[in-house]
Chain A
Amino acid sequence: MNLVRNHVLISIDAGTIMAGARAVEKALVDEINRQGLAGEIAVLETGSIGATGQGVVIVVYPEGLYYANVTPEDASEIVEEHLLKGRPVKRLIMTEMPRQQVIRKEKTGLLKEQARIVLRNSGVINPENIDEYIAEGGYEGIERAFTELKPAGVIKEIKDSGLVGRGGAAFTTAMKWDFASKAPGDPKYIICNADEGEPGTFKDRLILEGDPHKLIEGMMLAGYAVGAAKGFIYIRGEYALSIERLEKAITQARLYGLLGENILESGFSFDLAVMKGAGAYVCGEETALIESLEGKRGHPRNKPPYPVTEGLWGKPTVVNNVETLANVPEIIRNGAAWYRGYGTDKCPGTKVYTIIGNVATPGLIEAEMGTTLRDIIYEYAGGIKEGKKFKGALVGGAAGAFMGPEMLDAKMDFVNLKEYAAVLGSGAILVMDESTDIVGMLQSVLHFFKHESCGHCVPCRLGTKQLVEIVDRIAGGKGKVEDIESLVKISEVMRDTSFCPLGQSLNLPISSSLKYFRDEVYGRVQQPA
């Protein structure tokens, strides 16, 4: 048997594929074969390593050396110089390294290296190989559930961990599961909400692409806890690679007897199906998503009844976000007490963020709950691009809130941000430098909502249209002071009367933009004589 002396990991996700990762992979393999190193060097695919916008990224082990912006033409040099002669190709070495560890909320001078929770395996294992997930402790959670915890114990462990939903609403996960497990009705369903549409958010895509088995195990545990035999993953139609990887992972899990009848002789049967959406932001709302799964227009439903009692086809249904479910196997495997070692008392665990906009290194990061915005921007993302000044950030996606410089030291978690009338939402952090036009940003946000309003209820259907007309007028220099007041008033009515969170959430970007950038917005309208 040949001993593999170097492993070359190539990050294959939507971003790197765009930069030509498949061609680089092929060139590397061809070159390794040509130079007769086939038995000694293995090229493996992995998920996102957390850096985006740096082209094709590869990592050479055991050195752990990162190369960025690799092209197929570089393959022969890398193989000959580094892999054959042991001399790294300096010009390609990544200078802006992604941080692979969780940042502690209280820094003690040095950053302590920690295992990540949700992203622990992303960019480390080959997501298309179930054995690699198992080797990293995968499917140990479900084993512990079967042998030790039993369904009630799983719910208790999740309850003790304090896990809340990571999709934006921050509802207590254990409570959802508990309601569904006690609700009369059969069969019951588990739905994973992978309809990630909040602008600036792509964490769920990278979790799915980097570690699909973690989601499968999380859904199995949810199914076991509430007594469901069937799960659906509702995923955006645009996420082609995620769909492909998930389907592969499901097939492998079935082959290993981890999905299907009588899993691991436990008496528990569970299977999964992937459902593809077709481009509708509102389907991220759980009842609209259920309607869409049933083959209807994705209009939200009246609540109550909530899905936990009457969901898919009128049966008890748990709807959880990808990131929420990806936390579950780690909690069950390591225990609630371990999980509580991360984050804050009121908000344990970590949060996965996508940090984008005018930062030096945009990307995907996982930070403990309670980490400050300043640390996220300056420690993780390398600060503001081109040394410019920080002006503000839009946190939580389009349905999120603007934050000004005075919020840089606020601790980011679901509970604490509420006190500042802000939200963590989906975890998207769009950073704006000093040159950003706030009215232009607000305009973009409001246009987004006008386009995505489903038309079901009057306040949102008409309100979004009015708001767009007004903000366009202000941006065009024809606005008046009363226009700004109308923006606030209309969005308040929408907040109080809209049918679903889409219309309700628009007030937040409007009121927060005025809170932090009042002078700038008022400076854009005609001043009263």
Chain B
Amino acid sequence: MNREAILKKFEPNLSNILYIMHDLQDNNPERYLAKEDIEACGDYLNVPYSYVHSVASFYTMFSLKPRGRNIIRLCESPPCHLMGADSLIDYLKGSLKVDIGGTTKDGMFTLELTSCLGVCGVAPAMMLNEEMFGNLTPEKVDSILDKRRKEI
């Protein structure tokens, strides 16, 4: 869908800005809000570029730099910490050879941390794009990521 069509889905009210940005970001193959996305959003809602940028930068679900095709969001809240999230973070950093916020060389995965995902009953947990995974171990994470690599 092009930008125009996405914008047209919403009334040009400022209260729709989060919805519009969610959709623009989902539509961007590099899964971020590009300069052009922010411009288009600002023009449509009749607010300056700086305003849209300031709102986008406030919320963690929006990214202002290009990301990989798949986004790993590992929960680092106290419940997951208690169940061993720390060692998973280290494991993923090592196996993907990226830092937090970084994207793998092949552009396949971006590693991010997230606040509580609300699935603490199966901590430690993560989201891979829109899907949640729990009771994670290094082996389980490996098999989830391997599966995703093969799907693409």
Binding site for B on A (CB under 8 A): 14-15, 17-19, 52-53, 196-202, 205, 236-240, 275-281, 292-298, 354, 356-358, 362-363, 394, 398, 428, 430, 432, 436, 440-441, 444-445, 447-448, 451-452, 454
Taking a contact as CB atoms under 8 Å apart, the answer to whether A451 and B115 are in contact is yes
Q: A18-B131, A275-B18, A298-B58 are in contact. List 9 more A-B contacts (CB 8 A).
A: A199-B115, A280-B59, A281-B115, A356-B123, A357-B79, A398-B78, A440-B86, A445-B78, A448-B115
Given A15-B121, A15-B134, A279-B59, A199:B22 Cβ within 8 A: no
What sequence of 0s and 1s flags, for each residue 125-152 of chain B, a beta carbon within 8 Å of any chain A beta carbon? Answer: 0010011111100000000000000000
Which residues does chain A contribute within 8 Å of B81, judged by CB atoms?
A: 440-441, 444
Point out which of B55, B115, B127 has the most chain A C-beta atoms below 10 A from its C-beta: B115
Q: Provide 12 A-B residue pairs closer than 8 Å at the C-beta atoms, listed in order of the A residue.
A: A19-B134, A199-B116, A202-B121, A238-B117, A277-B18, A277-B59, A278-B61, A278-B62, A281-B115, A295-B14, A297-B54, A394-B78
Which residues does chain A contribute within 8 Å of B60, judged by CB atoms?
A: 278-280
Count A-B pairs with CB separation below 8 Å. 145
Which residues does chain B contribute within 8 Å of A354, judged by CB atoms?
A: 120-121
A27 CB → nearest B CB, Å: 19
Number of interface residues of B (CB under 8 A): 43
Which residues does chain A contribute within 8 Å of B82, judged by CB atoms?
A: 357-358, 430, 432, 436, 441, 444
Which residues does chain B contribute within 8 Å of A447, judged by CB atoms?
A: 76
Which residues does chain B contribute within 8 Å of A296, judged by CB atoms?
A: 14, 55
Taking a contact as CB atoms under 8 Å apart, the answer to whether A356 and B120 are in contact is yes
Which residues does chain B contribute within 8 Å of A281, judged by CB atoms?
A: 115
Which residues does chain B contribute within 8 Å of A53, judged by CB atoms?
A: 121-122, 134-135
Given A200-B77, A237-B22, A297-B58, A52:B121 Cβ within 8 A: yes
Taking a contact as CB atoms under 8 Å apart, the answer to whether B114 and A279 are in contact is yes
Binding site for A on B (CB under 8 A): 13-19, 21-22, 45, 54-55, 58-62, 76-79, 81-83, 86, 113-123, 127, 130-135
Which residues does chain A contribute within 8 Å of B45, judged by CB atoms?
A: 295
Which residues does chain A contribute within 8 Å of B116, judged by CB atoms?
A: 197-201
Taking a contact as CB atoms under 8 Å apart, the answer to whether B14 and A362 are in contact is no
Q: How far is the CA of A295 from the CA of B134 in the complex (A)?
A: 33
Taking a contact as CB atoms under 8 Å apart, the answer to whether B21 and A430 are in contact is no
